[in-house]
Structure 1
Amino acid sequence: MKLFRAALLATALSLPLAAGAAYAATPADALVIAQNIDDIVALDPAQAYEFSAGEINTNVYDRLVQYEAEDTSKLVGGIAESWEADDANKSITFTIRDAKFASGNPVRAEDVLYSFKRVVTLNLTPAFILTQLGWTPENIDEMVTVDGNTVTVKWDGDFASAFVLNVLAARPASIVDEVLVSQHVEGEDWGNAWLNTNSAGSGPFVMTDYRPAELVRLTANENYFRGVPAMKQILIRHVAEAATQQLLLTSGDVDIAKNLTPDQISGLGDNVKVETYPQAAVHFLSFNQKTDSLTNPAVWEAARYLVDYDGMTETFLKGQMEKHQAFWPKGFPGSYDETPFTYDVEKAKQILADAGVETPINVTLDVINSTPFTDIAQSLQAGFAEAGINFEILPGTGAQVITKYRERTHQAMLLYWGPDFMDPHSNAKAFAYNSDNSDANYQATTTWRNAWAVPAEMNDEVNAALAEPDQAKRNELYIDLQKKVQAESPIVIMFQAALTIAMANNVEGYVNGATSDFVYYRLVTKN
């Protein structure tokens, strides 16, 4: 009977999901997930930039170095068994471990060069993460060199090797099987079309089936150098409706549901457990310094005491966000996790009065017209009004709000920010650096978009942290920068996003780090 039910499940998962379809219990060696995966545009690591694509890439590819499932806060060797950094000469030499791709082909130093060269040459969306090292199609063969089973990576810029290692742990630095990919090249595409529906990695799983907005099937890689995963298959089913996900989970037809609402989470039965995972995105309120009434630092300081942090995170944001007041998310080296500000209207009033700030201050607040952003905006509107700062909420589509932000035409803005790769410089540059505040010098940072001319000494500290070779000192610099931005800037960081996931009680070992690039299935077991 168990074999029959497992076969029935496999058959059902190969067909489109129909309303009211009946499923059998999931097999012991397969993890079945209900998830909205219609965000996937590309799966080639040289092009993939969406959340769901990042999750799949992490489970089918290795990088030279990577944050691993056992401890997502520690950078460890991937296909590199060791490395030696030479900050003075701006280089790192990696020794490649004895490993195989899922195809059976050996992982070679030449595969590393090939992988980096195709990212830089294709120059698709995530390529900037690697090209910031000074790599171009013209110089890549000089910047990345192969000698036997070693690869030497060079860079051009005042970067610490710790920063470069984090760059090389990012998604576009995934290592692909040159021999396999070369068999599927079409014209000048470097195998891009084929890699968007297939995989060519050395990670714990291989992608054996992908149907857009329907199904992703991962199969255990029998050649994986850390051992074959317990789950022989990972089946990610596209289920857009949260209510359907809830039904499939509670009936035992899937093991994990990833997109349930707080109300649905609270209504789950005894056979389901709920886990909350902090995410990398930080949510903030910011004030455009082109608006005269918002330039007094006392307004920035008072604002920090007019946010009802606890009131929001304990009610409508419960399970979605947690209080966090620094620009680098907790859970990674260099984070500052103290939350010194609380909702205190009288203190805010006193700060404004002591500085001679005249109230009322009337200001527009741009916000994405969807939950929970509109709910946050209404809470802010109520709290700030108590101190004479009156928000007129201007809801808009995400595109409208972000376009206005980029044009610096807003007054106050409610938005969020996530790092492009897991190095604190990614956020330090966004929240603590702006050396040229002119309108003509467009920068994709919160500082420039809010027209905040960052003090020169803070700009210098950001550059110093980027170049600092000692990791402990580097982390100290980032913590100091977070304290300064937290204490005195027109950007009020309020929350860190959280992801609540429901799963069957018998599922153990699922790992969900701060971004989709840190979702791991390798350690999953079923009791």
Structure 2
Amino acid sequence: MRKFIAGLVMGTALITTPLAAQADTPKNALVMAFAIDDMITLDPAQMFEFTGLEYAGNTYDRLIGYDNDDVSKIYGVIAESWDVSEDGKTFTFKVRDGIKFASGNDLTAEDAAFSLQRVVLLDGSPAFILGQFGLTPDNVKEKIYATDASTLVMELDKPYAPSFVLYCLTAGIGSVVDKKEVLAHEVDGDLGADWMKTNYAGSGPFALNKWTAGQSLSLTANENYWDGVPEMKRVIIRNVKEAASQQLLLEKGDIDIARNLEADQLASIKGDDDIKIMSKGKGALWYLGLSQKNEYLSNPKVREALKYLVDYKGISETILAGRSQIHQAFLPEGFLGAYNENPYDLNIEKAKSLLAEAGLADGFSVTMDTRNTTSIMAMAQSIQATWAQVGINLEIIPGDGKQTLTKYRARQHDIYIGRWSPDYQDPQTNASTFAWNPDNSDDATAKPLTWRNSWNPGPLTDEVDQAILERDGDKRAEMYVDLQKKVLEDGPFVIMFQETEIASMRKNVNNLVLAPSFDNNSYRFVTKD
């Protein structure tokens, strides 16, 4: 025990002395360097950020899961099994017996019902996932309920494609929280929201130890986990945004895994016998969001011109070398109905002609909010240089992940350069983000990327709604292809790349899981030689 405690103290010291010389990390602790400055909350009912949802995926159990190697295979996690009514509008789930929360409370169907209700009632960014089924703060307690300790019922307003419903429950909003523990910290009817921002009430393979915003996140193994106790007793994640610093820490053995190495660092460590690299194609897309509140960006000719003003090939081969492929439609390759044609390339003369047609032959000035990581800044600077060739003066406004996201979500940007990843593995996840916006007012309930960029897609909203009711897979795929072509032509998005995620690690680290979706990346099976 003494040796184990000493190891943990050493691991904690890593957080406060970034580049100090250290011994190798403890064998039963996993130490990662990862840019986690986008973390805003630890509440799975409200989080909508990449690293926050990866945290939730390792600390909370969800109702439904899917096979990382074949996403068409859906299986139960907390929901051991389920049935769908003949009319397709009622789903009944059997909740698995024998699961306990970290508090020691039994996990029941009542906890599952409360968790889903809470998402809708709090009405945070991810609430729209359940709102798609006609669930509102006014009716959710009547539509989602437990009939006994092991039976959860979910009533929908329409007979949606069953796979669409189940894939939605694989998202972070499907995380089940401890009702008793959460309500014990409720203040003024907030459903424990303030407490949950920085605390934990789950049943997953790891539990929260401590989160220091902008600095570190540490987890402890759940020694009573129902599906197998992790071998790593601690997971320590250090917020290290600089890729060069991550590389140095990895080479010295101060960390086990570096999550954000850039092209230069990856080239530098190639051939290092002490380090290995793993990669996984992801659903994440790099894109520009163009606010339609801006007088220039609201011009269709300007939007089209900007799609010809990105050096797609150059950025993909240099800045994102090995970590992306060119992809310009809103459904990632591998999804049902994905459209894999890329109609735009860098064409300065074409862009000039389009700007002239828009009456802006001399260009204009505009700003771009940019997360201040190396690769994103490099992409922004490449775009800035290209746009300057047609007279567009692009001012780059750097900030940390929280700052830029907060501004973007408030519709206070001109242009936002960002990374979007599907919330679940059904094509509706991105269709409802890039092509659907039922209410473009500032106080709208649903706030997809169309809303953030103040774009009313008109008839596309109804077309998206129809696609989720189509049960014929081939017809449904055709509907999504058509939607992507229309958004490509007229939408306020310059979609550029599909991500390949890379993790660089010490050679003694095994079984890290990189999944198709960022929130299914898992530390649960990690071992060290």
Interval containing the TM-score (normalised by the shorter chain): 0.7 to 0.9
Q: CA deviation at 1:406?
A: 7.3
Determine if contact 2:421/2:517 at 8 Å carries over to the other structure.
no
Q: Could you tell me which amino acid in structure 2 is paired with residue 336 of structure 1?
A: Y
Equivalent in the alignment of 1:506: 508
Q: CA deviation at 1:89?
A: 5.1
Determine if contact 1:102/1:221 at 8 Å carries over to the other structure.
no
Q: Could you tell me which amino acid in structure 2 is paired with residue 393 of structure 1?
A: L
Equivalent in the alignment of 2:17: 18
Equivalent in the alignment of 1:111: 111
Q: CA deviation at 1:494?
A: 1.6
Distance 2:456 2:131 in 1: 27
Aligned runs of 1:355-366 on 2, under 5 Å?
Answer: 360=361, 362-366=363-367
CA gap 1:489/1:45 in 2 versus in 1, 3 angstroms: closer
Aligned runs of 1:341-490 on 2, under 5 Å?
Answer: 341-343=344-346, 348=350, 360=361, 362-368=363-369, 370=372, 372=375, 375-376=378-379, 379-380=382-383, 389-396=390-397, 413=415, 415-416=417-418, 418=420, 421-422=423-424, 423-433=426-436, 444=447, 454=457, 456=459, 458-471=460-473, 473-487=475-489, 489=491
Equivalent in the alignment of 2:142: 142
Q: Could you tell me which amino acid in structure 1 is paired with residue 342 of structure 2?
A: T
Determine if contact 2:331/2:430 at 8 Å carries over to the other structure.
yes
Distance 1:214 1:490 in 2: 35
Q: Could you tell me which amino acid in structure 1 is paired with residue 96 of structure 2?
A: R
Distance 1:193 1:115 in 2: 15
Equivalent in the alignment of 2:202: 201
* 1:522 maps to 2:521: no
Q: CA deviation at 1:488?
A: 5.5
Distance 1:237 1:264 in 2: 18
Q: Deviations over 1:48-67 (max 9, x none)?
A: 34433222211121121134
Equivalent in the alignment of 1:64: 63
Q: Highest Rg: 1 or 2? A: 1
Q: Which runs of 5+ in 1 are unaligned?
A: none
Q: CA deviation at 1:199?
A: 3.1
Determine if contact 2:11/2:31 at 8 Å carries over to the other structure.
no
CA gap 1:274/1:358 in 2 versus in 1, 3 angstroms: same
Q: Could you tell me which amino acid in structure 1 is paired with residue 95 of structure 2?
A: I
Distance 2:117 2:445 in 1: 29
Q: CA deviation at 1:94?
A: 1.1
- The total of aligned residue pairs comes to 517
Determine if contact 2:113/2:144 at 8 Å carries over to the other structure.
yes
* 1:52 maps to 2:51: yes
CA gap 1:377/1:361 in 2 versus in 1, 3 angstroms: farther
Choose 54-63 or 256-265, whichever is displaced more: 256-265
Equivalent in the alignment of 2:172: 171
Q: Deviations over 1:114-160 (max 9, x none)?
A: 22234444445544443454434553332113234221101336754
Q: CA deviation at 1:80?
A: 0.9
Which TM-score applies when normalising by structure 1?
Answer: 0.80
Distance 2:501 2:74 in 1: 23
Equivalent in the alignment of 1:95: 94
> In structure 1, the residue corresponding to 2:141 is in which secondary structure?
helix
CA gap 1:472/1:178 in 2 versus in 1, 3 angstroms: farther
Distance 2:157 2:144 in 1: 12
> In structure 1, the residue corresponding to 2:431 is in which secondary structure?
helix
Determine if contact 1:243/1:260 at 8 Å carries over to the other structure.
yes
* 1:8 maps to 2:6: yes
CA gap 1:190/1:453 in 2 versus in 1, 3 angstroms: closer
Q: CA deviation at 1:393?
A: 1.7
> In structure 1, the residue corresponding to 2:23 is in which secondary structure?
coil
CA gap 1:108/1:282 in 2 versus in 1, 3 angstroms: same
Q: CA deviation at 1:489?
A: 4.8
Q: Could you tell me which amino acid in structure 2 is paired with residue 18 of structure 1?
A: T
**Overall identity of the aligned pairs, in %:** 39
Q: Which runs of 5+ in 2 are unaligned?
A: none
* 1:284 maps to 2:288: yes
CA gap 1:362/1:198 in 2 versus in 1, 3 angstroms: closer
CA gap 1:68/1:232 in 2 versus in 1, 3 angstroms: farther
